[in-house]
Amino acid sequence: MGRCKWEVYPNHDDFAVRTLGVPGLGALGVTFGRTIAMDSPSGRPPGQFHWASTLWHEMSHVFTLTMTNSRVPRWFTEGIAVHEETAVSKEWGDRLAPEEDRGHQGQDAAAGGGTGPRLHPSQEPGAGGVSYFQAGRICDYITDKFRMGNDSWRCSTITRGRDTPAVIRKELKMAPEEFDRRFSRSWKRTPKTTVDHFSDWKTRIRKVNEMSKAKDWDGVIKEGLAIRDLYPDYVEAGSVYEFLAAGVRGEGR
């Protein structure tokens, strides 16, 4: 494959300028063929990102772009990279965020229909995260259900002159529409508890927040434990785990 160049920036704005020419980039890493540019561990405040997972994601792009001569659909190379993160460790990769949860509730997943999940900056805020998450789940699904290693799947992409529906027909032996139907069923089943209870969780976590501000620690602990397993993947700011920890400290337990 040849050499890969790896640039690591301790200052995030330096990374952003290197990538786009202006500060303000929200990404953690970017791949240009065989060159990776990304934040160093000190480029973001502690706890904001998993540095090793980000590097693994970008390295996946290097392999995919090289193997396909850069002729690979955007959703597919991102999906493989997301899949590769969690293939290394279930603790790596993105958790189910509220945007992805809403995507499960109101969005049919589609890969075979022609374009796959849309990955475009003109989408509504948060839609990019849904697309990345969905693309990764498509690659998980292909690997799990069709017992197909990523290498053969990667080499069968558009580099051989076939578009995505043609690849679905040849490699998975089914019509793209059938693949869409099967994956959509799987996509909606996977986080069923969270999807079914998302609205309830959202209302009740606000209630926990209000009880925390009022220092009603008994209420925080009682309600926090009641909703903890409705959305166990939410670990960002304002998670139930933070409120429970505050409640335990407040009660002196």
Q: What is the mean pLDDT of residues 69-82?
A: 86
Banded pLDDT at 102 (limits 50, 70, 90) = low
Q: What is the mean pLDDT of residues 167-194?
A: 83
Q: What is the mean pLDDT of residues 92-114?
A: 55
| pTM of the entire predicted model | 0.73
Q: What is the mean pLDDT of residues 68-81?
A: 86
CA 176 to mean position of chain CA atoms: 23
Q: What is the dihedral of CA 147, 148, 150, 154, to 10 degrees?
A: -160
Which range (16-25, 59-68, 94-103, 233-242) has the least confidence? 94-103
Top pLDDT among 197 and 225 is at 225
Average confidence score pLDDT of the chain: 80
Query: Could you tell me the residue ranges of all domains in the chain?
Result: 74-192, 197-251
**pLDDT score recorded for residue 87:** 84
Q: What is the mean pLDDT of residues 229-249?
A: 90
Cα distances from 68 to residues 73, 82, 106, 151, 190, in angstroms, run 10, 18, 33, 11, 31
As a whole-number percent, the residues of the chain with pLDDT over 90 amount to: 32
CA 111 to mean position of chain CA atoms: 16
Is residue 11 within 8 A of residue 38, CB to CB? The reply is no
Task: Write phi, then psi, for 32 (nearest 5 degrees).
Answer: -115, 90
